[in-house]
């Protein structure tokens, strides 16, 4: 394989992102700096700043590069099983360092940085919400959910308790907790309920 400038650039990007995640895990987001990442990755500080305007932007791209479980929904014809499988995968990803602690730090940073908030919404939150709503719509069309239930509200009800536990109470997200949320929600939006 020829060492082209494009390949060297891709390798450099991977090195920088790996260094970001390693340092973030070792020292935490608050102490993370572009200078420390550059030193760990063997890159110039200007290389980082040309690609990412801030450590939050670098961390966000680094987190998105993590090869975790696919957060796509299966479609087995059973909405409960499909929601359970997808949300269990998300919980497993958040439970694995460095993703969970750094994702929480990124959400905290988004409260003060409108660009990070917009990127987080555009590149992660909105696509995941769209996948959830699409899967719920299919289930509703198949008669597995009440035809009157508002799908984006179901998405908010599903994700709210997860973010509450992750960010507010900081209790561990478990499969059992997910199952309790699904049971509570789906009891109310089953096909026999009218709204």
Q: Does 190 have pLDDT greater than 60? A: no
For residue 88, CA distances in Å to 91, 116, 138 come to 5, 26, 20
Q: What does the pLDDT look like over 158-179, one tens digit per residue?
A: 999 999 999 999 899 999 999 9
Q: Given this model, what pLDDT does residue 72 score?
A: 81
Mean pLDDT of 142-170: 90
Q: What does the pLDDT look like over 48-84, one tens digit per residue?
A: 999 999 999 999 999 988 866 667 888 899 999 999 9
- Measured CA to CA, the distance from residue 17 to residue 23 in angstroms comes to 10
Which SS3 state, helix, strand or coil, does residue 39 take? Answer: helix
Q: For residue 80, what are its two tokens?
A: 């409960």
Q: Does 129 have pLDDT greater than 80? A: yes
Task: Report pTM.
Answer: 0.80
- Measured CA to CA, the distance from residue 86 to residue 154 in angstroms comes to 15
As a residue count, the chain comes to 195
**CATH code for the structural domain at 5-64:** 1.10.10.60
Tell me, what DSSP letter sits at residue 165? I
Tell me, what DSSP letter sits at residue 97? T
Q: Which fold has domain 79-189?
A: Tetracycline Repressor; domain 2 (1.10.357)
Whether 5-64 and 79-189 share one fold: the answer is: no
Q: Does 194 have pLDDT greater than 50? A: no
Q: For residue 192, what are its two tokens?
A: 């026999």
Domains of the chain, residue spans? 5-64, 79-189
Which conformational region is residue 44 in: left (phi greater than 0), alpha (psi within -120 to 50 degrees), or beta? Answer: beta
Which SS3 state, helix, strand or coil, does residue 24 take? Answer: helix
Q: What does the pLDDT look like over 4-57, one tens digit per residue?
A: 554 466 778 999 999 999 999 999 999 999 999 999 999 999 999 999 999 999
């Amino acid at each position: 394989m020829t060492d082209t400038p494009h390949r060297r650039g891709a390798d450099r990007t991977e090195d920088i992102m790996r260094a970001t995640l390693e340092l973030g895990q070792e020292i935490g987001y608050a102490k993370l700096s572009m200078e420390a990442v550059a030193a760990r990755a063997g890159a110039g500080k200007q290389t980082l700043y040309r690609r990412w305007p801030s450590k939050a932007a670098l961390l966000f791209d680094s987190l998105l590069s993590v090869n975790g479980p696919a957060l796509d929904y299966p479609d087995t014809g059973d909405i409960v099983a499909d929601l359970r499988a997808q949300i269990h995968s998300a919980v497993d990803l958040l439970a694995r360092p460095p993703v969970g602690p750094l994702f929480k730090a990124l959400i905290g940073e988004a409260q003060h940085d409108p660009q990070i908030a917009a990127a987080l919404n555009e590149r992660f939150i909105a696509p995941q919400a769209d996948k959830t709503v699409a899967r719920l719509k299919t289930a509703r069309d198949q008669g597995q959910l009440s035809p009157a239930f508002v799908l984006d509200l179901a998405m908010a009800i599903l994700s709210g308790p997860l973010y509450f536990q992750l960010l507010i109470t900081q209790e561990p997200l478990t499969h059992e907790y997910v199952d309790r949320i699904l049971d509570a929600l789906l009891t109310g939006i089953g096909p026999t309920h009218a709204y």
